[in-house]
Structure 1
Amino acid sequence: MDAMRSAAHRVLLRCCAQDIERILRSNAPPEEHVALPLSAIALANHEPELAAALYARPLEVLTLLDEATIAAQVAMKAAIELREEEQQTAAAADTGAGGLSEPQAQGMLNVYGNVHVRLVALPAALDPRPSAMRPPMARLGCSQLHQLISVNGTVVRGGPVRVWESIHTYECTRCKQTFPLKSSLEDGGAVDLPDACPLQLQNQPCPGTKFKKVPGASIYSGFQEIRLQAATACLGLGEPPASVTVVLQDELADSVRPGDSVDVVGVLVPRWLSTAPGRRCELELVLVANNVTRTGGPGHAGGPAAVGPIGALSAAGDAASAQPGLHASSELIALFEDFWKAHEDTPIMGRNKILAGVCPGVAGLLPVKLSALLVLVGGVARREEGSSNIRGELHLLMLGDPGTGKSQIMKWACRASPGRAVLTTGRGSSGAGLTVAATRDGNSWALEAGALVLADGGLCCIDEFDGIRPHERAVIHEAMEQQTVHVAKAGLVTNLSTRTAIIGAINPRPGTTISCGRPLTEVTGLEGPLLSRFDLVLLLSDPRHPDWDRVVAGHVLSRGGAAANSVHSPDDPSEDGSCAFATTASTAAAGGLDGFPALPAPDDLKAPAPADPLVAASILEAPSSVLSQRTHVTATSASSSREPSIAEKIAARLKGSSTGVSLGDYRPSQVHTQAAAQKHTSCGVTSPSSASAPSSSAASAWTVDVIRAYITWVRSRPPPVMTPEAERVLVAYYGALRRSEERSTARSTIRALESLIRISQAHARLMRSDQVLLRDAVVAVVLADSSQQLLAIPGSDSITNARFPADPDGELQMQQQAVLMRLQLASLLPMGLPGVAHVVE
């Protein structure tokens, strides 16, 4: 034991000299508890025997380290005083023999008795067994009892700070001497009295066997119990989240709040719940914390990490619960830079290649997929002097008919979120379940975090948003805009952070139809103040068009065939491209490391988006005897005529002629017309392009892992700066929105301008741009105007059947021309566009 004390003294002086000096000069109250951080890796390097004893007997060695802090402080104090005395002597000698030097003011050095060693940087293991010190929370059990472990998760419940008698003082009735006894947390604060007096009486052991407690001589300490839950992003399909009770003592108490992501280092011990005679004995596993550290960002673990080829940052040894793609590695960043260098002339084409990996199980919905990706990227938060913070997170509301893919988009967004992700429903959640609830904890109350608090720093998806009770919707107003929740329940007054992006899904009210001409409050049933907090509102109507039905049917059949030939199980989430990389030859050749996905090849990232297959028209056509003559004539004329392209529609609008143009109709391209003539006899699925085109079943290299890493990378870049051209477009559209007689009051407040700024910033981030350019502002206006139809941009009202165009950069130029002409900003148009010179003149 003396050897271990000497080792503890040496390692504290060698590894914690600066921290000990800081504690000596802190001038804190003598009774205050102070933390002394000690690196577990440094401890293992300098004193391996002590580190081995720490792993075998953690409670004993941690107590020994706490006791060694007093001797270390005394030694460090003597060294500091000697050093300062030598400095003063040297300074006096420099002034000359008869000179006078001003004495330097030195702070007082105080030795503190309540210094606790807190371990940091806990390694994965100190012995050959894998994951010995960082087991998954779901696997905590008897095998980890009385072992030093580290777990990470989210604080879902925080109890009140209580006081317990940590050290009892007893007096021997024989020798009249006192001795301290440390209480045991495992026994609920009880102490075990010794059989004989541990003191000496006249150099002989005291034979006393009776003791009495000394009143007023006990030492009390504060403690707090919190509930730690495993990260929801690390859970498997249908797996309930594991949780464990954590006890925080001394200065650790009240250091975290519900909703914080923390990394806890502690010892797992059993605690008896009931020890009364005649009652069944019950115990629970409790983690007595030695140190608690807030992680650097929500959703990723702190401490040592294992970095794979994709740059996934996860707790070392916890490969089962690792979430790949959380951080982009240098290799993947080089791929992203090379990708955008190859698309300098066609940036929108590059953006659409990224969008091809967004929820590939749903056909169409190009604006919805773009909006979901912008929500994950987010805008730029800012703080104005003298006012509150202005959020940078985007809120998206999808209003659509049943079966339009709203839930699939939200599930994909949860998987692609780099931080936390919480998916819930409005009908199954109350106002307290979304924000924070006060629960009974013995004789006091505790706070339990709701969905928005648990998603702090990440994403919260709420399906059936209208299911939230009307009188409880007001509680989320503050959480959405100010991103805080003020609580005043059961005597608990505090505020919690809700810096989360929200994606909501809602069906139209019974008896109403989705139309831009009807007020959103009437169609959704939501109040105006709540609607004004959503940055984007997208209307997803179910189009009844034969050509679009062929696209959807071909998409479903092709993915069904790919799933049948896959080796994955039906429950594997990788079927929708969410957890596996594209199985191309170049990707497989890259190889993986330690279970992490392989890096995609540069050519795979630059490959065109997979085309949608078409179902043969004869499969969807009904017998001629059933169809009426009018339907037959209409179908014949529709198949023989060609729909005008978006460029032709815009040109017609600019010339004042829009006859015969229906913006809501589906636009079959020439490629689809040629593909309809080629039919497979096996399942009736036709290829949309020639044989040289990519296969319809080929997955995009932009999988959810790559997209997650890409989002993390673009969010870590410097925020984009707004250009004057973009400002003029946003302000002009906001002014037109305010002047419109048919404007929606809920969607035309000052929040609409802030939303436009956030959307344009998010698009600039997505495009890896350092500036918010004119194109970013135009995209923001087009997305925001899809539910308003103030500018009547051709193609903006057909969201559900919006597909990837053959020339996205040219189509954006046409949309840019339409937006600027209607906002009377023709001077911002490039002179190279047709029909622009005479307008500018």
Structure 2
Amino acid sequence: MYDERPENILTDFLTEYYSDQIESILLSSDHRLHYPLYVDFAELMEHDSLLGHEILNYPTEYLPLFDQAARWAQELVCKEVKKVWELERRSQGLECPAPSIKEFVHVRIEICGPMFDNPDFCPSIGRVRVKHRGILLTLKGTVIRSGATKMIEGERMYECRKCKHRFKVHPELESRNSIPKPTACPSEKSKYCESTSFQLLEGNQVCHDYQEIKIQESTQLLGVGAIPRSIPVILQDDLVDVVKAGDEVIVTGVLTAKWSPDLKDVRCDLEPVLVANYVRRINEIKLDIEIPDDIRQQFENFWSEFKDTPLKGRNAILRAICPQVYGLFTVKLAVTLTLIGGVQHVDASGTKVRGESHLLLVGDPGTGKSQFLKFAAKLSKRSVITTGLGSTSAGLTVTAVKDGGEWMLEAGALVLADGGLCCIDEFDSMREHDRATIHEAMEQQTISVAKAGLVTTLSTRSIVFGATNPKGQYDPDQSLSVNTTLSGPLISRFDIVLVLLDTKNPDWDKVVSDHILDQAEPEKDKCHEDMGKKWPLSLLRRYIHFVKEYFRPTLSKAAEEVISSYYQLQRRSATENAARTTVRMLESLIRLAQAHARLMFRNEVTQLDAITAILCIESSMTTSAIVDSVGNALHSNFTDNPDQEYAIQEQQILAKLKSFDEFPDFNQ
């Protein structure tokens, strides 16, 4: 098929494009390590498209040739590197290790770009079929199970007793990596040697690191009612321990079949398995939210238009939050600030202080709590929705499962939502033991596991958004703990706790009913609203992602003074809200003020942001310490002149804080 051998073409390709990687491998000191050589498949297709397609369709034949070409490329590059190394050692007297050719170098092929959109080579996990067997596949999913690292035998050397021919036998994946005993002599020189007697040569045993993980397709890509499918993935050598449970990964490998484990009363079948060639974590990479320059310019133009009335511009964004629910300004502001979050920092002792905020909605039935949960999940780049009634502590955190005689950890909802949003509806339906398990996950953002001899710590850097009904009729004279049956330590971990009470206000019912009837008539709705001023869901997702990515707000002096005074005032007047007025409330104020500065497209937390954070905290208090009438969050609506209303609230709050500063025992 080729004028020259494929190994020569691949060797030329590696020396031309990847000499820097090969040089760093040559200068490494450890000969026993397995070294990866990362290759961009697009560059290979540009170099030789015919050979690239052959590698896609027949990877089991060509990938070993690629590894052989990597060894030949080392020999070519080594000659040049040695010359430079000798000159530097003579002139500068450097004692750096001499370049040496490494035996274990594996070419890792990364497939991205237009090829990643090809369903023949990059299908979803649920679409993997027999037709994909034996070709180079790229799958995207979440690691839900991570097995222990094992050591397997890579090959055995046999010698024919009759013709003395030596040959290697490799393990068969279908038979659980066992190396079969040869049945006939494969010698090509002695064609008529039909010997069946062989001697195993000891002393040249080759072993490999081996690990099995399981990846599951993302629930974001599935329709309602679809069950997410999963597939086992085999990692070997340098790919071992690259990922852990909860990581979002892209895996390139060869699909093959493997006998399922021997289990009592279970039929032994072949199950699909992906032998990985390349693994990449995509936790830190922007998943599917790209911010083009024209979109960024659109954001800047929007805020320049509302330069004189910034709160009016903010409210224009907030109107796009859950537009099917009328009003509820306070809830929409709280949801937006929770999704944006504050800035994570490390204190003087080296302890990380979380930047993610948590939100709890407590309300009567029919107040739209679940609607906000579903909409928040759409806005987040990574989200998991569950209900308290159907979630055990193992389903929320992590569970130990036994697979083929081996214990493995399987990730729960909080681990799978790492870096995103975990929505828990019917929060009160969870058992007390199950609620206690998420204490560490919410504050320290880790889950410590000690199950079935597996002791580890998993990361849960997720936002927790809970919704619950009050226990019976909500009693304003009682504390939140009594009304919700949630413990004080758990309530203190939520930055905002909003209470939505259905007070049966006739005027409000009339406005809400008119809004719902207007939505039922799409043509009438189009006539009444200017579509140019509405923020679509896609633009809103991009905006939230953009401000989280590019803004790191810092507190101004005025904001620090306001937050400090308010915190001290709450500590003095804390009687019924003892569970809320802890140091966590001070950290919540800082996070909410930073989130509001991000929402306002700024890198500095001003007094406006601090007072808005105070108003959010006041809304989550059963008794107000500073605002005369907080009002029911359910009946909070958008105002025509938010900037003027804020000016009145600012004067009121600053006057209360100033009078508090004049207390005689303030500094005692």
TM-score with structure 1 setting the length: 0.74
2:256 aligns to what? 269
Write the letter of the residue equivalent to 2:137. I
Supply the distance in 2 between the matched residues of 1:440 and 1:394 (Cα, whole angstroms): 35
User: Which has the larger displacement, 546-555 or 208-217?
Assistant: 208-217
Report whether the alignment pairs 1:255 with 2:242: yes
Which of 254, 277, 292 lines up with 1:329 in the alignment?
A: 292
Q: CA deviation at 1:243?
A: 1.8
Q: Give the length in aligned residue pairs.
A: 657
TM alignment of 1:184-195, pairs within 5 A: 184-191=172-179
1:24 aligns to what? 26
Write the letter of the residue equivalent to 1:557. L
Q: CA deviation at 1:143?
A: 2.3
TM alignment of 1:696-775, pairs within 5 A: 701-775=534-608
Q: CA deviation at 1:122?
A: 3.7
Q: CA deviation at 1:19?
A: 1.1
Say if 1:19 and 1:391 are closer, same or farther in 2 by CA, change over 3 A: same
Q: CA deviation at 1:212?
A: 4.2
Residue 731 of structure 1: SS of its match in structure 2? helix
1:434 aligns to what? 396
Report whether the alignment pairs 1:449 with 2:411: yes
Write the letter of the residue equivalent to 1:709. R
Write the letter of the residue equivalent to 1:345. D
Q: Residues 247 and 283 of structure 2 are in contact (CA less than 8 Å); yes or no, is this contact kept in structure 1?
A: no
Supply the distance in 1 between the matched residues of 2:454 and 2:533 (Cα, whole angstroms): 51
Supply the distance in 2 between the matched residues of 1:823 and 1:474 (Cα, whole angstroms): 36
Report whether the alignment pairs 1:529 with 2:529: no
2:140 aligns to what? 152
Instruction: Report Cα offsets for 1:339-398 as digits up to 9, x if no partner.
Output: 000001111100111111100111121110111011111111001232310000000011
Supply the distance in 1 between the matched residues of 2:460 and 2:192 (Cα, whole angstroms): 62
Write the letter of the residue equivalent to 2:19. A
Supply the distance in 1 between the matched residues of 2:244 and 2:219 (Cα, whole angstroms): 18
Q: CA deviation at 1:279?
A: 9.3
Residue 505 of structure 1: SS of its match in structure 2? strand
1:14 aligns to what? 16
Say if 1:349 and 1:285 are closer, same or farther in 2 by CA, change over 3 A: same
Supply the distance in 2 between the matched residues of 1:362 and 1:697 (Cα, whole angstroms): 18
Write the letter of the residue equivalent to 2:28. S
Q: Residues 175 and 258 of structure 2 are in contact (CA less than 8 Å); yes or no, is this contact kept in structure 1?
A: yes
Supply the distance in 1 between the matched residues of 2:192 and 2:78 (Cα, whole angstroms): 36
1:485 aligns to what? 447
TM alignment of 1:213-252, pairs within 5 A: 213-215=200-202, 217-252=204-239
Q: CA deviation at 1:79?
A: 2.0
Instruction: Report Cα offsets for 1:99-151 as digits up to 9, x if no partner.
Output: xxx6443422232211111112444439xx94332222221112211111211
Q: Residues 37 and 108 of structure 2 are in contact (CA less than 8 Å); yes or no, is this contact kept in structure 1?
A: yes
2:59 aligns to what? 58
Q: Residues 156 and 229 of structure 1 are in contact (CA less than 8 Å); yes or no, is this contact kept in structure 2?
A: yes
Supply the distance in 2 between the matched residues of 1:142 and 1:246 (Cα, whole angstroms): 16
Q: Residues 569 and 660 of structure 2 are in contact (CA less than 8 Å); yes or no, is this contact kept in structure 1?
A: no
1:806 aligns to what? 640
Which of 295, 306, 309 lines up with 1:343 in the alignment?
A: 306
Which of 171, 175, 178 lines up with 2:166 in the alignment?
A: 178
Residue 365 of structure 2: SS of its match in structure 1? coil
Say if 1:768 and 1:225 are closer, same or farther in 2 by CA, change over 3 A: same
1:513 aligns to what? 474
Supply the distance in 1 between the matched residues of 2:191 and 2:229 (Cα, whole angstroms): 54
2:510 aligns to what? 550
2:355 aligns to what? 392
2:119 aligns to what? 131
Q: Residues 246 and 418 of structure 2 are in contact (CA less than 8 Å); yes or no, is this contact kept in structure 1?
A: yes
Instruction: Report Cα offsets for 1:6-56 as digits up to 9, x if no partner.
Output: 11211221222111111111112x332221111111211223332121012
Runs of 5+ in structure 1 lacking a partner? 92-101, 301-312, 314-325, 567-582, 585-693, 828-841
1:94 aligns to what? none
Say if 1:275 and 1:464 are closer, same or farther in 2 by CA, change over 3 A: closer
1:293 aligns to what? 280
Report whether the alignment pairs 1:108 with 2:112: no
Instruction: Report Cα offsets for 1:593-646 as digits up to 9, x if no partner.
Output: xxxxxxxxxxxxxxxxxxxxxxxxxxxxxxxxxxxxxxxxxxxxxxxxxxxxxx
1:141 aligns to what? 129
Write the letter of the residue equivalent to 1:756. L
Which of 634, 653, 658 lines up with 1:819 in the alignment?
A: 653
Instruction: Report Cα offsets for 1:556-598 as digits up to 9, x if no partner.
Output: 2222233xx79xxxxxxxxxxxxxxxx98xxxxxxxxxxxxxx
User: Which has the larger displacement, 215-224 or 337-346?
Assistant: 215-224
Q: CA deviation at 1:723?
A: 0.8
Q: CA deviation at 1:702?
A: 0.9
Residue 76 of structure 1: SS of its match in structure 2? helix
Supply the distance in 2 between the matched residues of 1:37 and 1:114 (Cα, whole angstroms): 14
User: Which has the larger displacement, 343-352 or 238-247?
Assistant: 238-247
2:459 aligns to what? 497
Say if 1:78 and 1:299 are closer, same or farther in 2 by CA, change over 3 A: closer
Q: CA deviation at 1:195?
A: 5.9
Instruction: Report Cα offsets for 1:216-246 as digits up to 9, x if no partner.
Output: 5432222111111122222223222222211
Q: Residues 124 and 131 of structure 1 are in contact (CA less than 8 Å); yes or no, is this contact kept in structure 2?
A: no
Q: Residues 791 and 822 of structure 1 are in contact (CA less than 8 Å); yes or no, is this contact kept in structure 2?
A: no
Report whether the alignment pairs 1:161 with 2:149: yes
Say if 1:700 and 1:402 are closer, same or farther in 2 by CA, change over 3 A: farther
Say if 1:110 and 1:234 are closer, same or farther in 2 by CA, change over 3 A: same
Runs of 5+ in structure 2 lacking a partner? 662-668
Q: Residues 160 and 225 of structure 1 are in contact (CA less than 8 Å); yes or no, is this contact kept in structure 2?
A: yes
Report whether the alignment pairs 1:81 with 2:82: yes
Residue 465 of structure 2: SS of its match in structure 1? strand
Q: Residues 345 and 355 of structure 2 are in contact (CA less than 8 Å); yes or no, is this contact kept in structure 1?
A: yes
Q: Residues 400 and 514 of structure 1 are in contact (CA less than 8 Å); yes or no, is this contact kept in structure 2?
A: no
1:779 aligns to what? 612
Q: CA deviation at 1:76?
A: 1.9
Supply the distance in 1 between the matched residues of 2:42 and 2:16 (Cα, whole angstroms): 13
Write the letter of the residue equivalent to 2:592. I
Say if 1:700 and 1:507 are closer, same or farther in 2 by CA, change over 3 A: farther
1:662 aligns to what? none
Write the letter of the residue equivalent to 1:464. E
Q: CA deviation at 1:525?
A: 0.7
Say if 1:436 and 1:130 are closer, same or farther in 2 by CA, change over 3 A: closer
Instruction: Report Cα offsets for 1:667-725 as digits up to 9, x if no partner.
Output: xxxxxxxxxxxxxxxxxxxxxxxxxxx61696962122111000111112231111111
Q: Residues 225 and 247 of structure 1 are in contact (CA less than 8 Å); yes or no, is this contact kept in structure 2?
A: yes
Residue 211 of structure 2: SS of its match in structure 1? strand
Q: Residues 111 and 138 of structure 2 are in contact (CA less than 8 Å); yes or no, is this contact kept in structure 1?
A: no
TM alignment of 1:628-647, pairs within 5 A: none
1:835 aligns to what? none
Supply the distance in 2 between the matched residues of 1:23 and 1:475 (Cα, whole angstroms): 45
Write the letter of the residue equivalent to 1:503. F
Say if 1:210 and 1:807 are closer, same or farther in 2 by CA, change over 3 A: same
Identity %: 40
Q: CA deviation at 1:475?
A: 1.5
Instruction: Report Cα offsets for 1:244-265 as digits up to 9, x if no partner.
Output: 2111111212221101111111
Say if 1:364 and 1:279 are closer, same or farther in 2 by CA, change over 3 A: closer
Write the letter of the residue equivalent to 1:51. G
Q: Residues 543 and 800 of structure 1 are in contact (CA less than 8 Å); yes or no, is this contact kept in structure 2?
A: no
1:632 aligns to what? none
Q: Residues 559 and 697 of structure 1 are in contact (CA less than 8 Å); yes or no, is this contact kept in structure 2?
A: no
Q: Residues 400 and 541 of structure 1 are in contact (CA less than 8 Å); yes or no, is this contact kept in structure 2?
A: yes
Q: Residues 232 and 420 of structure 1 are in contact (CA less than 8 Å); yes or no, is this contact kept in structure 2?
A: no
Supply the distance in 1 between the matched residues of 2:58 and 2:205 (Cα, whole angstroms): 27
Q: Residues 125 and 217 of structure 2 are in contact (CA less than 8 Å); yes or no, is this contact kept in structure 1?
A: yes
Superposition RMSD in Å: 2.6
Q: Residues 484 and 497 of structure 1 are in contact (CA less than 8 Å); yes or no, is this contact kept in structure 2?
A: yes
1:44 aligns to what? 45
